[in-house]
Structure 1
């Protein structure tokens, strides 16, 4: 097959820049197509702003950034599973496809729960102290 007829996205990425462009396109796609991803990003940005307001210590920043990125990565993985199931089942219901989608969504839910726990542990004492200082 002549080189110009090949779909470049099906070949192994031989150049770092091309790989980077595909990865950025994937992030843009999930942001554009998934409402939950936009919600997670909004909440992550809000948490980062709160981190600056409350002047988090370096270890607190590490925990905060860890959970933000874990949630975002899990949302991307969940979207991948959803798309693969839809592609394989041609958008028709299949009980195994449903199990796969449910488990992937469960992984996002667990990760989000972990992020909320970390957020509560980081920010509630600081908010409580602020309330105490105000009263």
Structure 2
């Protein structure tokens, strides 16, 4: 790498990195329906958290699983794009395996978040049911 290519000012480098990262997030929201769905579910879970007045530990778990799903969805999208780029959008059995495994990671993460959400919210929903209907 030539000396002229090296970044010498930290702030510009950080700002440029931040701009690239934000563009990546915008791109995945724009192009991936599942990312928008996961985000909507996360927002609904946060609203439910305020309604049910979660404890600090419950908030930490809830936010962890929300961000975990979003991160894995972004990684899944990156794998899909790399496979499409490398295969020029033609079917390849190894490309299919890669895409399937990345999608499986999203599924496992989403299931984990459903379990955590159930542990947090079902007792609270049950308590509401018992209080108002029994």
Q: TM-score, normalised by structure 1?
A: 0.89
SS at match of 2:54: coil
> How many angstroms apart in 2 are the aligned matches of 1:99 and 1:73?
20
Q: Which residue of 2 aligns with 1:63?
A: 61
How far is 1:87 from its partner?
0.1
Look up the match of 1:28: 26
Tell me what 2:98 maps to: 100
State how 1:1-135 maps to structure 2 within 5 Å: 15-135=13-133
Taking the aligned partners of 1:115 and 1:125, their CA distance within structure 2 comes to: 16
Gaps of 5+ in 1: 1-5, 7-13
Aligned length: 124
Task: Determine the C-alpha separation between the residues in 2 that align with 1:15 and 1:88.
Answer: 29
Point out where structure 2 has 5 or more consecutive residues left out of the alignment.
6-11
Q: Structure 1 runs of 4+ off > 3 angstroms?
A: none
CA RMSD of aligned residues (A): 1.4
